[in-house]
Amino acid sequence: MLNYDMPLYRPPSEGDNLIIQATLGCSFNQCSFCSMYKTKDYRPRDLADVFADIDQAARVWPEAHRIFLADGDALTLPMDSLRAILDKLHATFPNLNRVSAYATPGNILKKTSEELVELRERKMPLFYVGIESGAPVMLKKITKGASQKGIAESLIKAREAGLKISATVILGLGGQKYWEEHIDGTVDLLSQAPVTYLSTLQLYLEEIAYDEFMKKFGEPFEAQGDMAVLAELERLLANLKPPAPVIFRSNHASNALALAGNLPKDQARLLAEVQGAMAGSNAIRPRFMRRL
């Protein structure tokens, strides 16, 4: 449909939706585990080029009703640019009911509360935030560029503006040495800061990111096997006390075990499914079927 600047990424839940590239790459691009935009330099695209893509997409898919703004963090754009893009989308797609994008905690904190409310009112109510971990030691080891306090402040600020946050956590990120700190810090973060959706991924280091991850980790990293990762998932689900109901998923293709439910309502069932997989009664996803 469009001549995208590759590689192109989007959350699994945006797989059936129209993607428009408002920016290229990632403005931070220092997370040690992430290989998504290592081959790109960050830049905002010219509005004329974005508008041309919108017009081209509308000729092919005029009924599109959900749109994802790529690449890594369109929320870095100034409000004048975001307003112009959203106005163009609304004028071009009569059935439009939602626009979404990736965002970093820093992106959210740099916008005023009034600006975040305005984005929601302009039908941009959903942002995908990679929390990865809530443990201070892990946030430093992966050079996340955010602290537990900063992430919590961003999530609370988004919630108060009426935005929905879809957050991701990476199982296995702390390896064998730090897995308890990783999970306990994440539980602490998510128990104080509300998210609407919570998903897990399982650590997978692509070749382009492997050396950087190992160097920044700062000490030998011993990877977690599937059973150990399931123990992390069990600890996460057993201890999480979200301040508001959370829609939980571990259905990303990187995960050994696919789960779906609502917290806290389905907490006991989800735990039983994890424990069944650890006992061998519930099958896990074969490794050849996993991918980022």
pLDDT tens string, the chain, 292 residues long: the values are 799 999 999 998 999 999 999 999 999 999 999 999 999 999 999 999 999 999 999 999 999 999 999 999 999 999 999 999 999 999 999 999 999 999 999 999 999 999 999 999 999 999 999 999 999 999 999 999 999 999 999 999 999 999 999 999 999 999 999 999 999 999 999 999 989 999 999 999 999 999 999 999 999 999 999 999 999 999 999 999 998 999 999 988 889 899 999 999 999 999 999 999 999 887 888 776 677 6
Q: What's phi and psi for 129, nearest 5 deg?
A: -120, 125
Alpha-carbon distance values, 236 to 132, 167, 223 (Å): 13, 14, 18
Sign of the Cα pseudo-torsion (271, 274, 280, 282, in order): positive
Tokens of 96: 């439009």
Phi and psi angles of residue 262, each rounded to the nearest 5 degrees, phi first:
-115, 140
- The pTM (predicted TM-score) of the whole model is 0.95
**How many CB atoms are located within 10 Å of the residue 210 CB?**
13
Domains of the chain: 12-285 (3.20.20.70)
